[in-house]
A and B are shown apart, each in its own frame.
Chain A
């Protein structure tokens, strides 16, 4: 009964490189949320996706960030041309459907930009 899985757990990139973060939701869950946590802060919502659809991307930076949740495979959060300010923990959560109140979280990916 696997929970939400994220990989990699730790990712190191140099400025200007691309970062790809993966999230596999809980079995049976078709809704995925991405959050970012800066050091010593709470989480900030980035994007909410359903299979093949972006439902709400109001928390996504306008440039360099994109997310997808294809019909098959994990959800991907992509950050192009990373900068030091992108260093953070990125958490993925999933829920059964749109109306489900509870989001279950993965272990997070800690991105470090050198």
Chain B
């Protein structure tokens, strides 16, 4: 069975600086998707970024980028130029490529932005 682990319950960063959130996963599949979702205090789950495992190039979305290391089964999220609005819970999630379409979630990392 696949698992997702986020080892940092909480992280803090100074506004305008860069922070990296860690995520590791376990799977025997070779093709899959990985996601980072953000959950602000409103509790809405918002997609931040996605990565297809077959792509070697790391995904980027404006200030958000990932470091995808397939062999190490690592999928970290880097947030550059942190803003107060980035404060939220961040969840890493995994999904198989073509079967068992449920998302499997990590426990989350609470990101605090210091002004």
Interface residues of A (CB under 8 A from B): 31, 33, 35, 41-45, 48, 55-56, 58-59, 89, 91, 93, 95, 98-99, 101-105, 107-108, 110
Contact A48 B102 (CB under 8 A): yes
Interface residues of B (CB under 8 A from A): 4, 33, 35, 37, 42-47, 50, 52, 91, 93, 95, 98, 100-108
- How many interface contacts (CB-CB < 8 Å) are there between A and B? 59
Contact A103 B103 (CB under 8 A): yes
Contact A104 B47 (CB under 8 A): yes
Contact B102 A33 (CB under 8 A): yes
Closest to B95 in A: A101
Contact A107 B50 (CB under 8 A): no
Contact A105 B45 (CB under 8 A): yes
Q: What CA separation (Å) do A55 and B108 show in the bound complex?
A: 27
A45: B residues at CB distance < 8 A: 102-104
Looking at the assembled complex, report how far the CB atom of A39 sits from the nearest CB atom of chain B, in whole angstroms: 11
A31: B residues at CB distance < 8 A: 101
Looking at the assembled complex, report how far the CB atom of B100 sits from the nearest CB atom of chain A, in whole angstroms: 7
